[in-house]
A and B are shown apart, each in its own frame.
Chain A
Amino acid sequence: KQEVTQIPAALSVPEGENLVLNCSFTDSAIYNLQWFRQDPGKGLTSLLLIQSSQREQTSGRLNASLDKSSGRSTLYIAASQPGDSATYLCAVREWAGGSQGNLIFGKGTKLSVKP
């Protein structure tokens, strides 16, 4: 059964710092991996999606990498800002034969960026 783990559970950094969030998954047979942002009491905003055949994706100050064979992904945030404060969720989409394959989520890393 696929398990997704995110470390650290919480992270507090001063503004301007570069940081890395980690995600690991137990079964490398995935279709893709998606990083989300969740603000308190709100829905999930998709940040980046990496296909299983890709190694990384970039969007602005965000860069996500994927090493499928080792079951790891990282989300790199450059020059962090207080507005980046949120919980960051990692989710893998399983290989599910002919069906869609649902998303399996990690518990998230709660990021706080201090001004």
Chain B
Amino acid sequence: EPEVTQTPSHQVTQMGQEVILRCVPISNHLYFYWYRQILGQKVEFLVSFYNNEISEKSEIFDDQFSVERPDGSNFTLKIRSTKLEDSAMYFCASSEALAHGETQYFGPGTRLLVL
């Protein structure tokens, strides 16, 4: 069964460093998302992406964040200058159809720790 994959599974970085989190969505999906979950808290929406541009973004997704689909398969989240509070599990998700009713499929996540 097709799956969303994410790399790396764990990343440790120093405050102020740039990190790039990578995702490979399900191949025939058109809509891509990033969410994060700070330890012990709710899963929070960051950004949605369609047709090579951002569809929607949350207040969390400030100028330190960017997303890109550099080729036909990868979808990346870049954090330019990490802060301690960026430590979280980051989930990528994808969905197939244009309709709002379509299920979002989540990857296993990347656990980011900023020291």
A interface vs B, CB < 8 Å? 31-32, 34, 36, 41-46, 49, 51, 89, 91, 93, 96, 99-108
Contact = CB atoms under 8 A, between A and B. Distances in A.
Interface size class of B (residues with CB under 8 A): 20 to 34
Given A31-B101, A42-B108, A99 B55 contact: yes
B48 A100 contact: yes
Nearest to A101: B100
A46 B56 CA distance: 22
Given A49-B101, A103-B104, 14 more contacts: A32-B101, A34-B104, A41-B111, A43-B91, A44-B93, A45-B106, A49-B103, A91-B43, A100-B31, A100-B55, A100-B100, A101-B100, A102-B48, A106-B42
Decide if the interface of chain B is mainly helix, strand, loop or mixed.
strand
Interface of B: 4, 31, 33, 35, 41-45, 48, 50, 55-56, 58, 91, 93, 100-101, 103-109, 111
